[in-house]
């Protein structure tokens, strides 16, 4: 079937769309199937076995509504499949936006997006992964409808972007970066005159500003509706105009995170990921210059300067949230916009070829490096999920062992169900990690770094409900000689009953 009839209109399903969808699913399953078919936990997912996480206080007012597309449960396969559906749809929109026709390059484009470290990090928090990938789709769709729909596309784009930001604000960077890439593509490939580009592209600026306004409007309403204020997490509560010194610091933080995501935080080292990204970034620079010269864009001085400036601004747009609050600290979960730099490289590779040796060499090197990067990312994703499995098993084993010690006390059976877990038991194995880049949410260590983690596991997996001691009760226990003489877990005697409360000493 090559078309779908909706009413009187038939939508032709293009070969390029099928390629984008199939590549996303095939490569995506190679990378993430282990995560989709296993229940792996993190420190956050313990609190969100049922639910999409903290929402309104973090400014994510549309997140609970987006979660209704699946359910409130943390279901790896359902949420994973929905995530691939949303990524597939985003890839189809990218194919249409940039008129991509080369099947192999479309497959590479799908591969670098679906295996990007941010996707791996998002799947570490599977309870909300489908929502975040929907935010990615909404950001891409906002740019696409602004481009495609002539009359009301800009206003529809505002709504799509506003609702995407309402799921996760960091996806504003995806829309901004995609607009910048489209502008670069206009100058470098389409040879658009500068003033013509300005007239054509003002609608994207209005869409981006309008999308932020839609987000802010619904945010204010949700805060008023629930009678809350924004949390201080990640600078959400103090967004606004910053000082010159803070903007300079934002540039420093942007440079650092940009180098980390490409594996360059310690310079060029002999690591596959680092070397592949060095090759790809160098190829991007060479391709931009080559196409600017081949297409004689240098004759249009403003277009030439704008194209080069756009390329230099890519790190800033990818990390634009750094420039909204001095308290922002980027992590892998927020960096989806960076994968669009690979998309730009693929768009430029699509424009080179012919019989000349140099362009053929550029294209061969670019395709080979991108294919190797996708392969590396697939392996890296599976390594990450292996570590998550190790962390889950280790945490369950520790929680079970501590509970055995607690249940062995006579007081547990007769006197109290109140418990004080003193300190944090650490069993680090992080030196075994070989993931480059490191990915937020991936760890092979125990995630039991809070007393609540123990009590939640005991309640949900062992059917034992314990009440945590209060802050004052813990301070009183800490001052007793009996506590000070206690050995540390896992030594014998690390559990006692003090002041009518079961005490487990996990560290000094």
Give mean pLDDT, residues 286-302.
Answer: 92
Q: Is the pLDDT of residue 1 over 90?
A: no
Distance (Å, whole) CA 328 – CA 334: 11
List, in sequence order, every residue forming a beta bridge with 9; answer none if it has no partner: 6
Which of 176 and 460 is assigned the larger pLDDT? Answer: 176
Which of 116 and 6 is assigned the larger pLDDT? Answer: 116
pLDDT at 237: 52
pLDDT at 115: 98
Q: Which of 254, 397, 250 lies closest to 327 in space, CA to CA?
A: 250
Ranges 36-45, 63-72, 213-222, 339-348: which has the least confidence: 63-72
Average pLDDT score over the chain: 89
Q: b/e string for 454-493 if b means 16 or more Cβ within 10 A?
A: bbbbbeeeeeeebebbeeebbebbeeeeebeebeebeeee
Q: Is the pLDDT of residue 378 over 60?
A: yes
Distance (Å, whole) CA 54 – CA 83: 20
Give mean pLDDT, residues 423-443.
Answer: 78
Distance (Å, whole) CA 64 – CA 79: 14
Question: For 14-31, how does the pLDDT look when each residue is reduced to its tens digit (9 = 90+)?
Answer: 899 999 999 999 999 999
Give mean pLDDT, residues 150-168.
Answer: 94
SS3 167: helix
Taking a C-beta distance cutoff of 8 angstroms, is the pair 196, 171 a contact?
no
SS3 364: helix
DSSP class per residue in 446-499? ----SHHHHHHHHHHHH----EEPPHHHHHHHHTSHHHHTPPPTTSTT-EEEET
Taking a C-beta distance cutoff of 8 angstroms, is the pair 137, 89 a contact?
yes
Residue 371 structure tokens: 């294919």
Q: Is the pLDDT of residue 116 over 80?
A: yes
pLDDT at 293: 93
Residue 34 Cα distances to 22, 114, 435, angstroms: 19, 15, 17
Give the pLDDT band of residue 270 (cuts 50, 70, 90): confident
Q: Is the pLDDT of residue 174 over 80?
A: yes
Taking a C-beta distance cutoff of 8 angstroms, is the pair 437, 261 a contact?
yes
Taking a C-beta distance cutoff of 8 angstroms, is the pair 458, 398 a contact?
no
Ranges 77-91, 281-295, 297-311, 403-417: which has the least confidence: 403-417
Q: For the chain, how many helices (H) and strands (E)?
A: 18, 6
Give mean pLDDT, residues 226-232.
Answer: 71
Q: Is the pLDDT of residue 469 over 70?
A: yes
Residue with tokens 């769309």: 17
DSSP class of residue 73 equals B
Q: Is the pLDDT of residue 11 over 80?
A: no
Question: For 246-266, how does the pLDDT look when each residue is reduced to its tens digit (9 = 90+)?
Answer: 889 989 999 999 999 999 988
pLDDT at 428: 72
Distance (Å, whole) CA 61 – CA 226: 11
Residue with tokens 């699509």: 350
Distance (Å, whole) CA 334 – CA 84: 18
SS3 16: helix
Question: For 194-206, how does the pLDDT look when each residue is reduced to its tens digit (9 = 90+)?
Answer: 999 999 999 999 9
Give the pLDDT band of residue 150 (cuts 50, 70, 90): confident
Taking a C-beta distance cutoff of 8 angstroms, is the pair 400, 481 a contact?
no
Q: Is the pLDDT of residue 65 over 60?
A: yes
Taking a C-beta distance cutoff of 8 angstroms, is the pair 168, 132 a contact?
yes
DSSP class per residue in 203-242? HHHHHHHHHHHHHHHHHHHHHHHHT-----GGGGGG-S--
Distance (Å, whole) CA 121 – CA 29: 16
Give the pLDDT band of residue 269 (cuts 50, 70, 90): confident
Q: Is the pLDDT of residue 401 over 90?
A: yes
Distance (Å, whole) CA 228 – CA 426: 36
DSSP class of residue 486 equals P
Give the pLDDT band of residue 7 (cuts 50, 70, 90): low
Interstrand relation of 501-505 and 495-498 (parallel, antiparallel or unpaired): antiparallel
Give mean pLDDT, residues 375-397.
Answer: 94
Q: Is the pLDDT of residue 126 over 70?
A: yes
pLDDT at 164: 96
DSSP class per residue in 383-429? HHHHHHHHHHHHHHHHHHHHHHHHHTSHHHHHT--EEEEES------
Distance (Å, whole) CA 271 – CA 265: 12
- The alpha-helical segments, DSSP class H, found in 295-338 are 301-318
Chain centroid to CA 386 = 19
Distance (Å, whole) CA 379 – CA 271: 14
Cα torsion 399, 400, 405, 409: sign: positive
* Of the ranges 170-184, 287-301, 465-479, the best mean pLDDT one: 170-184
Residue 409 structure tokens: 């006390």
Q: What does R_g of the chain's alpha carbons equal in angstroms?
A: 26
Give mean pLDDT, residues 402-424.
Answer: 83
Q: Is the pLDDT of residue 49 over 80?
A: no
H helix or E strand, kind and range, residue 109: helix 103-114
pLDDT at 333: 92
């Amino acid at each position: 079937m090559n078309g779908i009839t909706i009413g009187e209109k038939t939508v032709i399903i293009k070969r390029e769309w099928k390629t984008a969808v199939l590549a996303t699913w095939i490569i995506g399953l190679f990378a993430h199937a282990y995560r989709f078919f296993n229940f792996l936990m993190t420190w956050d997912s313990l609190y969100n076995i049922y639910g999409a996480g903290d929402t309104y206080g973090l400014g994510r007012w549309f997140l609970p509504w987006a979660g209704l597309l699946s359910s409130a449960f943390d279901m790896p396969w359902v949420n994973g499949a929905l995530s691939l559906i949303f990524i597939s749809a985003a890839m189809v929109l990218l194919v249409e936006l940039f008129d991509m026709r080369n099947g192999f390059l479309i497959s590479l484009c799908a591969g670098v997006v679906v295996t990007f470290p941010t996707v791996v990090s998002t799947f570490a928090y599977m309870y909300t992964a489908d929502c975040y990938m929907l935010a990615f789709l909404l950001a891409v769709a906002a740019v696409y409808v602004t481009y495609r729909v002539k009359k009301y596309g800009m206003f529809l784009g505002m709504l799509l972007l506003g609702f995407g930001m309402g799921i996760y604000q960091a996806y504003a960077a995806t829309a901004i970066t995609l607009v910048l890439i489209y502008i670069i593509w206009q100058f470098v490939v389409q040879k658009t005159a500068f003033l013509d580009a300005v007239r054509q592209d003002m609608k994207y600026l209005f869409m981006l500003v309008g999308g932020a306004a839609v987000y802010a409007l619904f945010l204010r309403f949700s805060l008023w509706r629930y009678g809350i204020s924004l949390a201080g997490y990640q600078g959400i509560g103090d967004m606004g105009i910053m000082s010159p010194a803070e903007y300079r610091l934002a540039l420093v933080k942007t440079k650092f995170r940009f180098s980390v995501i490409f594996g360059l935080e310690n310079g060029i080292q002999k690591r596959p990921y680092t070397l592949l990204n060095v090759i790809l970034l160098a190829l991007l620079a060479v391709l931009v210059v080559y196409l600017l010269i081949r297409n004689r864009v240098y004759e249009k001085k403003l277009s030439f300067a704008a194209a080069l400036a756009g390329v230099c601004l890519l790190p800033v747009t990818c990390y634009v949230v750094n420039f909204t609050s001095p308290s922002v600290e980027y992590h892998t979960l927020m960096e989806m916009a960076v994968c669009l730099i690979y998309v730009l490289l693929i768009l430029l590779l699509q424009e080179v070829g012919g019989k000349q040796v140099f362009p053929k060499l550029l294209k061969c090197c670019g395709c080979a490096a991108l294919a190797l990067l996708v392969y590396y990312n697939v392996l890296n994703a599976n390594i990450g999920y292996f570590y998550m499995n190790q962390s889950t098993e280790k945490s369950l084993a520790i929680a079970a062992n501590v509970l055995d010690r607690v249940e062995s006390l006579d007081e547990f059976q007769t006197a109290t169900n109140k418990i004080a877990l003193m300190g944090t038991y650490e069993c680090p194995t992080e030196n075994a990690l070989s993931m480059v880049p490191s990915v937020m949410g991936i760890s092979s260590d125990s995630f039991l770094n809070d007393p609540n983690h123990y009590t939640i596991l005991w309640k949900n997996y062992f059917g034992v409900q314990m009440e945590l001691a209060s802050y004052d009760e813990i301070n009183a226990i800490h001052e007793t000689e009996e506590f000070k003489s206690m050995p540390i877990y896992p030594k014998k005697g690390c559990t006692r009953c003090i002041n009518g409360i079961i005490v487990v000493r996990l560290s000094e």
